[in-house]
Amino acid sequence: MTDERSSLNPTQRRTLELLRRPAEPPEPVGDVVDGLVALLEDGLGPLVDVIETPNRLVLHKHALAGLNACEASWMAERASFAWSTRTARGTVVHKAIELAVHWHGEPIPGELVEHAVERLAASDRSIASYLGALDPAERAELVAACVDLVSKFQECVPPLRAAFRPVSESRVEAKFLGGRVVLTGVVDLTLGRPDGDRPGKVILDYKTGQVHAAHREDLRFYALLEAVRLGVPPRLVATLELDSGTVHHETVTPALLEAAARRVVDTARRLAALDHLGAEPVRRPGPRCRWCPIASGCEPGKAWLAGDDR
């Protein structure tokens, strides 16, 4: 281990210490997960009469964050989404890091990004047509931005040995009401595994720019999904801020999981009211107003932006 640590920079060593399994294993979780499932089933139960099959209510981190920020803005963004360099950058970076985790040989950022762009452009995902239509200059700009972020990831995270059990871009789902309600997410990176009923897995998310409270809630949601899926929650959730090399982390506790479950129930009920009962979306002005597609016609949003400019 001494030789391994000596080859790491200080940020990588801090990350390694954080992610390493503790000397004292966590206590078994007991009936915690059974209580979470009961809370979700009871809370979502009334929606069985609202969501008629074959319709489904799909709840992911973007819906949870958007609806709890500003319902009107999130619904407008959902209806008008279009790929851009900003939105494509995250998808390409995540794909490149996914390749890096399982790469044979030296994972060079430029090569990883080029392969990621090529594979996404040849896929059946909606980003494919956007990537295929880029002119050489636009493609070069996208690649340059992604190479920067993949390089930062490698500078912050130690090489992931097979013994760490790294899994990248892992889809996790939980279904309720016979599949009428689907909770879903794609986890950037997981490391480790549970030891029987003892939590042992670490969930790592990576972000560009500043980490916000919504990012913490994303990870709590992932911890909840993992707990429901496996019967054992992760022991730790962490967000890696690529630009600063900072890792923000939380130990997963029963209180954290219960708060995440209640947030899911409240948001699912609200989304059902909006999509199936014709409820009027609530407008909550805030930082999202800066890029909101309906800001020019939203009086609370315009007032907030005017104050922000001042």
DSSP 110-176: HHHHHHHHHHHHTSSSTHHHHHHT--HHHHHHHHHHHHHHHHHHHHHS----GGG--EEEEEEEEEE
Torsion, Cα 231 232 238 239, to 10 degrees, reads: -10
> Is a pLDDT exceeding 90 seen at residue 72?
yes
Place of tokens 């913490």: 216
DSSP-derived pairing of the beta strands 181-191 and 236-241: unpaired
Q: What is the mean pLDDT of residues 80-93?
A: 91
Q: What is the mean pLDDT of residues 37-66?
A: 95
Q: What is the mean pLDDT of residues 249-274?
A: 96
254-276 helix and 32-44 helix, angle to the nearest 10 degrees: 20
Percent pLDDT > 70 in the chain is 96
Name the least confident of 6-15, 141-150, 178-187.
6-15
The 10 Å CB-count burial string (b at 16+, else e) for 261-293 is: bebbbebbbbbbbbeeeeeebebbbeebbeebe
**Spatial separation of the C-alpha atoms in residues 36 and 298, rounded to whole Å:** 38
pTM comes to 0.92
For residue 158, the model assigns a pLDDT of 92
Do you find a cis peptide bond into 54, omega within 30 degrees of 0? yes
Q: What is the mean pLDDT of residues 181-202?
A: 94
Residues in contact with 68: Cβ distance below 8 Å, sequence separation at least 6, in sequence order: 214, 217, 263, 267
Across all residues in the chain, what is the average pLDDT?
92
Q: What is the mean pLDDT of residues 266-285?
A: 96
Among the listed residues 245, 237, 193, the one whose alpha carbon sits nearest the alpha carbon of residue 215 = 237
For residue 5, the model assigns a pLDDT of 65
For residue 1, the model assigns a pLDDT of 41
For residue 291, the model assigns a pLDDT of 87
Element (H, E) at 191: strand 181-191
Q: Output DSSP code: residue 24.
A: S
Q: What is the per-residue DSSP string for 264-302?
A: HHHHHHHHHHHHHS-PPPPP--SGGGGT-TTGGG-HHHH
For residue 279, the model assigns a pLDDT of 97
Greater confidence (159 vs 208) lies with 159
**Spatial separation of the C-alpha atoms in residues 169 and 187, rounded to whole Å:** 5
Q: What is the mean pLDDT of residues 266-290?
A: 95
| Count of Cβ atoms closer than 10 Å to residue 127 Cβ | 17
Per residue in 8-47, pLDDT tens? Answer: 999 999 898 888 878 677 888 878 999 999 999 999 999 9
Q: How far is CA 47 from CA 38, 53, 197, 241, in A?
A: 15, 12, 32, 37
pLDDT tier, 98 (very low <50, low <70, confident <90, very high otherwise): very high
Type of residue numbered 192: G
φ and ψ at residue 200, rounded to 5 degrees: -145, -15
pLDDT tier, 208 (very low <50, low <70, confident <90, very high otherwise): confident
**Spatial separation of the C-alpha atoms in residues 86 and 88, rounded to whole Å:** 6
pLDDT tier, 121 (very low <50, low <70, confident <90, very high otherwise): very high
pLDDT tier, 199 (very low <50, low <70, confident <90, very high otherwise): very high
For residue 3, the model assigns a pLDDT of 54
Among the listed residues 38, 59, 55, 48, the one whose alpha carbon sits nearest the alpha carbon of residue 182 = 59
Greater confidence (112 vs 7) lies with 112
pLDDT tier, 7 (very low <50, low <70, confident <90, very high otherwise): confident
Per residue in 132-141, pLDDT tens? Answer: 999 999 999 9
Domains of the chain: 28-81+164-276 (3.90.320), 85-156 (no CATH)
For residue 207, the model assigns a pLDDT of 85
